[in-house]
Chains A and B, each alone.
Chain A
Amino acid sequence: ETGVTQSPTHLIKTRGQQVTLRCSSQSGHNTVSWYQQALGQGPQFIFQYYREEENGRGNFPPRFSGLQFPNYSSELNVNALELDDSALYLCASSMHGETQYFGPGTRLLVL
């Protein structure tokens, strides 16, 4: 176990809705990165948060946004959900620039 936790484990939404996913980082880690993993593919980098600021972003539209809190936990928010947003959402915690350790993920299904 990595000590990284995510909630919820699963959820179902409909197109156009908004969703918030949560991640608690491993004790002592100050950086959280979020990834989207579609079925049968490798994870794709969404963005990273360090010291409560976005610190790098992948090729995802602005409707994907996030937050990092003073205790280093993080949220991923997705607005105006689309069917293609259905995926496993993974967060990874690390010390800044060091090895990333992943949580179990949140499985999102958009209908």
Chain B
Amino acid sequence: GESVGLHLPTLSVQEGDNSIINCAYSNSASDYFIWYKQESGKGPQFIIDIRSNMDKRQGQRVTVLLNKTVKHLSLQIAATQPGDSAVYFCAENIGGAGTASKLTFGTGTRLQVTL
């Protein structure tokens, strides 16, 4: 498959450690945020989302934190596994929650899990 993110920022973590991927978003009017995972040769895969009326949301092994004051979003992955190796994108919804949504994606971070 093709390579995704040839020159992206890279985070290298050891298997079993926790990973934290950060994202700065641009539009203070954005009210819905999503993290996607993209493996080489595949489309983005939904991981977790959060609305602007929340500052934390947890899923299975993943937690998203939202700091609207500094327009910052982070994705925490607990007990990182080799299968977590991928490029991770944050996306913000500019259309407004419950309306037509146009996602704006960040530049992405490559997560490399070492054994």
Instruction: Give A residues with C-beta under 8 Å from B.
Output: 2, 4, 31, 33, 35, 39-45, 48, 50, 55-56, 58, 88, 90, 92, 94, 96-105, 107
CB pair A42–B105 under 8 Å, yes or no, is yes
From the candidates B3, B5, B99, B102, name the one contacting A45 in the complex (CB within 8 A): B102
If the complex has contacts A97-B95, A104-B43, are A44 and B105 also in contact, measured as CB distance less than 8 A? yes
> Given known contacts A43-B105, A90-B43, A104-B43, what 18 new A-B pairs fall within 8 Å (CB)?
A33-B101, A33-B102, A39-B4, A40-B6, A40-B8, A42-B89, A42-B91, A42-B106, A42-B107, A56-B100, A88-B2, A94-B101, A97-B101, A98-B101, A100-B103, A102-B43, A102-B46, A104-B41
From the candidates A41, A58, A96, name the one contacting B100 in the complex (CB within 8 A): A96
Is B66 in the interface zone, CB < 8 Å from A? no
If the complex has contacts A39-B3, A56-B100, A97-B100, are A103 and B43 also in contact, measured as CB distance less than 8 A? yes
Chain B residues closer than 8 Å to A92, beta-carbon distance: 43, 103
Chain A residues closer than 8 Å to B107, beta-carbon distance: 41-42
Chain A residues closer than 8 Å to B45, beta-carbon distance: 2, 102
Task: Give me 22 A-to-B residue pairs in the complex whose CB atoms sit less than 8 angstroms apart, sorted by A's number.
Answer: A2-B46, A39-B2, A39-B3, A40-B5, A40-B8, A42-B91, A42-B105, A42-B108, A43-B44, A45-B102, A56-B95, A90-B43, A92-B103, A96-B100, A97-B98, A97-B99, A97-B100, A100-B46, A100-B103, A104-B41, A104-B42, A107-B2
CB pair A99–B49 under 8 Å, yes or no, is yes
Instruction: Give the most central of B49, B99, B103, B105: most A CB within 10 Å.
Output: B103
Chain B residues closer than 8 Å to A2, beta-carbon distance: 43, 45-46
